[in-house]
Amino acid sequence: MHEEEHYVNRSNWLRAAVLGANDGIISVASIVIGVAAATTSREPILLAALAATVAGALSMAAGEYISVSSQSDLERADLDREARELADHPREEERELAGIYRARGLSDELARQVAAALTAHDPLTAHARDELGISKITQAQPTRAALASGLSFLAGAALPVLVAAVGPLRGMVPVQYGITLLALVLLGALAARTGGGAHLGRRSAHLPLGHGGHGRYGPGGVPFRSSGALANRFVGPKATQSSTPSRLKR
């Protein structure tokens, strides 16, 4: 059985991890720079760096958990409401589902057949996915987000703490500035690679981007932007023009 791994599967933890690491680098380095500018003794610099690391990791984890829990509460409330609607008005909900599929390009008869089949199998999952846009991939996961944010904060703060522990006392401020900028660049590159951004430029050159988005719809039957518009936004108009087949240009 062929199984594909998609980058969107990482969305639940990657965003939290990038935010946590970014905050760990910048906030701890800023504290180290501030204390180092006021003293030439290593102990208060290192103590401040360690205190900022512990406090920041706990704060990021707790904040991420609360934030994503709020999203999870909204999703559960919508699912509960949809379950009640399915229990009270099953035929109307099935017609609503068929309307979504018609908006995506299915014929009336086929849309009714698909809606009836999905309603007989698992109506709540069908409405959650196609009406509300909730799926296993996008569903909020507070614990995973909290762990990703807290642990990545510790990882991001490790470099400023290391500089505070072994860096030169007299040159602590400029060294910390340089290390911070380097760490942010590396974080951006790592995040882009983990999220698939490093492959965008190479793969988009092989796609017909001119009218590739025609007929594609999101939750509730709302059409997505064409892939040409997305390419202009993320890759640039030159890349879009060069990759469009001549038959589309005419």
Per-residue pLDDT tens over the stretch 148-187: 999 999 999 999 999 999 888 888 899 998 989 998 898 8
What pLDDT is attached to residue 219? Answer: 47
Flag the least confident range among 135-139, 167-171, 175-179, 246-250.
246-250
| Three-state secondary structure of the chain | CCCCCCHHHHHHHHHHHHHHHHHHHHHHHHHHHHHHCCCCCHHHHHHHHHHHHHHHHHHHHHHHHHHHHHHHHHHHHHHHHHHHHHHHCHHHHHHHHHHHHHHCCCCHHHHHHHHHHHHHHCHHHHHHHHHHCCCCCCCCCHHHHHHHHHHHHHHHHHHHHHHHHHCCCCCHHHHHHHHHHHHHHHHHHHHHHHCCHHHHHHHHCCCCCCCCCCCCECHHHCECCCHHHHHHHHCCHHHHHHHCCHHHHC
What pLDDT is attached to residue 86? Answer: 86
Structural domain spans, the chain:
7-92+125-195, 203-249
- Give tens-digit pLDDT for 217-239: 444 444 444 444 434 444 444 44
What pLDDT is attached to residue 33? Answer: 93
What pLDDT is attached to residue 45? Answer: 93
With 0.75 as the threshold, say if the pTM is over it: no
Confidence class for position 89, pLDDT limits 50, 70, 90: confident
- As a whole number, mean pLDDT of residues 195-207 equals 51
What pLDDT is attached to residue 3? Answer: 57
pLDDT higher than 60, residue 107: yes
Percentage of residues of the chain with pLDDT beyond 90 = 26
